[in-house]
Amino acid sequence: MRFGLFGINIGVCANGQSAAQVAQAAEAVGFESVWTGEHVVLPDPQAPPSPLPPEAPILDPAVALAVVASHTRRLRLGTGIIILPQRNPLVLAKELASVDVVSGGRLIFGLGIGYLKAEFDALGVSFDDKGARTLEYLEAMLAIWTAEKPAYQGRFVSFAGVQSMPRPVQTPHPPIVMGGRTAPAYRRAVTHANGWFGFALDAADTAACLAGLRTALAKHPRPSGLGALEISVTPRGPLDLETVKRFADLGVHRLIPYWPLTSEEALRTRIARFGDEVIAKL
């Protein structure tokens, strides 16, 4: 089992100094990775299904991870997740390639299709075709990252006769992780991603999601270059050693706890305790 820390760009970590110090604390006790969340805008006033009040601070993922990269040596740097259909794919490809370069090849590209219609409306992006747009944008990003002569022709994005350097350090590209808990999300993970990420799940939720992923694997051919599907979960509820073992028995490879505490000191203390009580005992 590997461990990530969610929220390195949110709340008390929504400034460079705190993000760096919390990341260093996580690295020191054996965390493998840190992960960002994303909402470019939040509905005001807050209304379901918006997860945060409109005044909640959230740094841009690429900016936060670049800061963390400069203050750590080994931590993987995950986006958990970027709402891909809201982004210009070539601009995002440049931003994330830059993170991979300045970190020496530590980026994990986690993405999803989004679920807040008000956010899409504010950004002028169609909510109805977000799934199809996501796959095109991902394919376009992979083309600009990997092709000798990058080109892509699609419904939502088209380009040719361009280059974007530097390319990511990792080859053929940084690992791709897909989020989502629907049958189409499971299909996208199986056909386009190295891993799947489930957010705020208990063990029973996780078991149900893994069953959905197995169904998708049985129905949809998985490209051999993607390798085995890596499972990451942000657990809901207390996370002790026995709970960690329960997730491991289900087949989870990485747990990414989220502790939305009210001070940097409290968060660093919680990280240290987790290192002593869980990581050191595995």
Q: What is the pLDDT of residues 227-263, one digit of tens each?
A: 999 999 999 999 999 999 999 999 999 999 999 999 9
3-state secondary structure of 5: strand
Q: Which residues lie below 8 Å from residue 86, measured CB to CB, with a gap of 6+?
A: 40, 114, 119, 120, 123, 125
* φ, ψ of residue 70 in degrees (nearest 5): -75, -10
* Residue whose token pair is 């009580």: 277
Q: Pairing relation of β-strands 82-83 and 158-160?
A: unpaired
- Say yes or no: domain 2-182+238-281 is CATH 3.20.20.30: yes
Q: What is the pLDDT of residues 48-60, one digit of tens each?
A: 999 999 999 999 9
Instruction: Report whether the peptide linkage leading into residue 166 is cis, meaning its omega lies within 30 degrees of zero.
Output: yes
Residue 260, pLDDT score: 97
Distance, in Å, from the CA atom of 163 to the CA atom of 146, rounded to the nearest integer, reads 10
Domains of the chain, residue spans: 2-182+238-281, 183-236
CA 40 to chain centre: 15
pTM of the complete model: 0.98
Distance, in Å, from the CA atom of 206 to the CA atom of 246, rounded to the nearest integer, reads 11
Handedness of CA 17, 21, 22, 23 (dihedral sign): positive
Distance, in Å, from the CA atom of 201 to the CA atom of 237, rounded to the nearest integer, reads 8
Instruction: Report whether the peptide linkage leading into residue 257 is cis, meaning its omega lies within 30 degrees of zero.
Output: no
Nearest Cα to 95, choosing from 82, 114, 80?
Answer: 82
Handedness of CA 230, 58, 129, 108 (dihedral sign): negative
Q: Pairing relation of β-strands 254-255 and 107-112?
A: unpaired
Q: What is the pLDDT of residues 118-172, one digit of tens each?
A: 999 999 999 999 999 999 999 999 999 999 999 999 999 999 999 999 999 999 9
